[in-house]
Each structure stands twice: as structure tokens, then as C-alpha cells.
Amino acid sequence: MAKNDPFGFDISVSASKKKNPRGRRGMSGASETSTRVCDHPGCQEDGKYRAPKSPDVLDDYFWFCREHVREYNLKWNFFDGASDQEYLDQVDKDRVWERPTKPFGKRSEEQRAWARLGVDDPHQVLGDNATRNPGKAASGSRRLPPTERRAIDILDAQDSWSKTEIRKAYKALIKVLHPDMNGGDRSQEEQLAEVVWAWDQIKISRNFRDN
């Protein structure tokens, strides 16, 4: 926002930081607003530099002056108390950002459990049709305009049918949805309108044989 705003408002980020300096840190890492005293025994200097208390408590800090934070950092050892094997394990994890991948070709616990039952693929327990989805296979084998494809789906028909066969499906749906066939119940009028629209698309189409 322009500095010469007639209303005197300045909502820029820099202005906000000036008004609220809480926790602001300088280029050296010092907290400019800290009023703490250095945590080093006997030191009365300002504690403007924070340092984690231990590798296990990284969100709780000591506050030191510049001299003592340097001294503390020189002695800091993240692996203090860890065994050589724990150190090597952490190095291995850091190589992949602690997100190891599974060895290619190695069976998982679940796969080994199925193998003990004599099943190589869990889908086999469902039979020959386990990985097949015939839902639209029969009605999706032809290229049709989007409107006619939608019409086929609405009429629950197949694109290999003739107009005569599709008309039978259309009439069957009309009997189910029409208010006159349901004691005047008009709760399905929207579905009925879709069915009528769908038959209108098929009726004038050249993509379906008459008989």
C-alpha cells in the first residue's frame, strides 16, 4: 500500500513487524527482544541466543550470551549417549530422509501369509472373474457421441442393441417411473424426464440399426 495513504493505514508486512517485534531475531541469531539473563552459571550477560537443552528435547531451550552459546554449541553432540550401531542406523535413515523403500521383488508379510495358503494373488480367492469388471464392457465397445453414450447409460441398455431392443428397455422404465403407473406419485418425475430425453436421442440417431 502507498505510504501516502490519506487514511494513515499501512498493512504491509514490514509495518506489521515494526509494530509487533516479539521474537524478532537478527542476522546473528540473537533474539532482539529477549530480556532473559544468560543461563550459564554466574553469567549476568543478556541471554539473547537460544540452544536446545538436549537431543531428546529440541523444543525447550537454554538462553545464553554470545560467548556461552558458542561454547555450548562446540560441546553439542546430537549422538551423545548413542551406540555406534544407533549412529549408523540414523545415517542410513538420513540417506533416504527416513522414508525407506521396500526391496523390489521381496514379499511383504501379507503376501507371505497368502502364500502359506497356496494363493499367489489375493484376488484368486474370488474366482476367475476377480479382476474383471464387465459393468460397461458390453456397452462401451463403440464410439458414440457423449449424448448418446449418456442416453445408453440412462436406459440401462447396450450399444450393440437395435432401436427396437432399446425401445423395450425404454418402455419398461416408463412403466416403473410414470405417475399413472404409481398411483399418481410424482416423486420420480425427474428420472422420468431423463428417460424420455434418452430415448429421444436414440430414436433420431443413425448409430443404431432399426431392428
Angle at 85 between CA 80 and CA 90, to 5 degrees: 70
Q: What is the pLDDT of residue 93?
A: 83
Q: Is 39 helix (H, G, I), strand (E, B) or coil?
A: coil
What residues in the chain have per-residue pLDDT under 70? 1-30, 102-107, 117-141
Q: Are 201 and 156 in contact (CB under 8 A)?
A: no
SS3 of 12-44: the string is CHHHHHHHCCCCCECCCCCECCCCCECCCCCCC
Q: Which tens digits make up the pLDDT trace of 77-127?
A: 777 777 888 888 888 888 877 777 766 666 677 777 777 766 666 666 565
Q: What is the pLDDT of residue 139?
A: 46
For residue 3, the one-letter residue type is: K
Q: Is 4 helix (H, G, I), strand (E, B) or coil?
A: coil
Distance CA 200, CA 137 (A): 24
Q: What is the pLDDT of residue 189?
A: 86
